[in-house]
């Protein structure tokens, strides 16, 4: 049983240093698709504390290096979005506390409570609850990104979109796509250059609806493997792509409360929306997956310089 869960983790999970594991069952959670995720398991058991048993449930998440695909070579770089040790390092920093912690801790936006980090494994609270309201999540994202300080640590990811585009040469002649998509993609480097003027903020990197849980009055955000810095508005674009909702900018700016320039946020949002959405449309068409109705309208920029 000790190979699944250390005694110190159980002690934190049940709130007593005297806790002794009585039983523990592992339930694999399928569908964990993070580039560096080796496996996610729910641990359900009971611990004895001074002669009385207490139940516990927590999440065991294990990581491993990325060894295949076009990002494998660069993923050994701690600044690359697919760096495999980032999430354990982020949770370890959060447990240590102080200025090096990059994870949000609430009261609005927060990460799951962590009970321990052991090498390439993290042990997290099994957070349950309904999906968070996209508008509330957008507002809390804006507040976090407008107020959080980027810590001086070497393992934060750089600009993920730029890193992905650097190794993505999409052939639009091989898919049945609308001409404006190929034209948009041809301008990708110019669009990325425009993003350099947008302030960088702490960024989750995969801020989609499936990672957002409403629990305990907070928005709990899962999967911090791509935690880094990115242009203001970029995370909001990922939320819009996952919800098909292009009305979230106002909520984000309300959360930011005047601490971010709306024009810069809109530029970061629209450019990330366009380039990320275009690449996903290419993937869908290449794989024979129908493009959802309205997706192209969401992605297509209104003019060559969105946000200006």
- Residue at 280 is within a domain: yes
Mode of pairing for the β-strands spanning 218-221 and 109-110: parallel
Per-residue pLDDT at 33 exceeds 90: no
Residue 30: pLDDT band by 50, 70, 90 thresholds?
confident
Q: Domain count of the chain?
A: 1
| Interval 219-242 mean pLDDT | 97
Q: pLDDT at residue 218 above 80?
A: yes
pLDDT recorded at residue 3: 65
CB proximity list for 8: less than 8 A, separation 6 or greater: 116
Q: Report pTM.
A: 0.93
pLDDT bracket for residue 192 (50, 70, 90) = very high
Q: Confirm if 298 and 277 have CB atoms less than 8 A apart.
A: yes
**Cα distance between residue 35 and residue 225, in whole Å:** 8
Domain around 246:
64-299
Closest by Cα among 194, 287, 196, 277 to 238 = 277
Q: Residue 166 maps to which CATH number?
A: 3.90.1200
> Are 240 and 298 a contacting pair, CB within 8 Å?
yes
- CA torsion sign for 274, 278, 280, 281 is positive
| Domain membership flag for residue 38 | no
Helix (H, G, I), strand (E, B) or coil at 28: strand
A 10 A CB-CB count for 285 gives 17
**Long-range Cβ pairs for the range 172-181 (8 Å, 24+):** 172/282, 174/286, 175/282, 175/285, 175/286, 176/285, 177/281, 177/282, 177/285, 178/296, 180/300, 181/278, 181/281, 181/282, 181/296
The tokens describing 177, both together, are 């796509």
Q: Give me the pLDDT at residue 32, please.
A: 66
d(CA 307, CA 234): 13
Q: Report the C-alpha dihedral over residues 155, 159, 163, 168, rounded to 10 degrees.
A: 150
CA distance 75 to 57: 32
| 106 compared with 180, residue with greater pLDDT | 180
Q: What per-residue confidence (pLDDT) applies to 81?
A: 96
| Span 59-106, pLDDT tens digits | 999 999 999 988 998 999 999 999 999 999 999 999 987 677 899 998
Peptide bond into 303 cis (omega under 30): no
């Amino acid at each position: 049983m000790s190979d699944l869960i250390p005694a110190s983790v159980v002690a934190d999970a049940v709130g007593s240093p005297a806790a002794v594991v009585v039983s523990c069952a592992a339930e694999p959670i399928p569908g964990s698709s993070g580039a560096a995720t080796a496996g996610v398991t729910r641990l359900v058991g009971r611990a004895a504390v001074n002669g009385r048993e207490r139940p516990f449930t927590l999440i065991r998440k294990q990581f491993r290096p990325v060894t295949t695909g076009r990002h494998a070579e660069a993923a050994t770089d701690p600044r690359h979005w697919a760096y495999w040790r980032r999430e354990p390092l982020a949770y370890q920093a959060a447990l240590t506390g102080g200025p090096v912690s990059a994870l949000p801790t609430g009261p609005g936006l927060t990460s799951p409570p962590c009970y321990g980090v052991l090498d390439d494994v993290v042990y997290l609270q099994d957070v349950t609850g309904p999906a968070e309201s996209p508008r509330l999540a957008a507002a809390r994202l804006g507040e976090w990104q407008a107020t959080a300080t980027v810590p001086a640590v070497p393992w934060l990811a750089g600009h993920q979109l730029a890193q992905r585009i650097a190794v993505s040469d999409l052939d639009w002649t091989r898919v049945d796509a609308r001409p404006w998509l190929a034209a948009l993609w041809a301008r990708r480097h110019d669009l990325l250059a425009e993003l350099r003027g947008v302030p960088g903020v702490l960024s989750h990197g995969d801020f989609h609806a499936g990672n957002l849980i409403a629990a305990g009055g907070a928005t709990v955000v899962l999967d911090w493997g791509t935690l880094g810095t990115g242009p203001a508005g970029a995370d909001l674009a990922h939320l819009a792509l996952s919800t098909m909702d292009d009305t979230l900018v106002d909520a984000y700016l309300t959360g930011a409360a005047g601490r971010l320039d709306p024009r810069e946020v809109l530029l970061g949002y629209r450019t990330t929306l366009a380039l990320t959405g275009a690449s996903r449309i290419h993937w869908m068409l290449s794989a024979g997956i129908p493009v959802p109705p309205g997706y192209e309208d969401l992605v297509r920029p209104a003019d060559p310089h969105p946000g200006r």
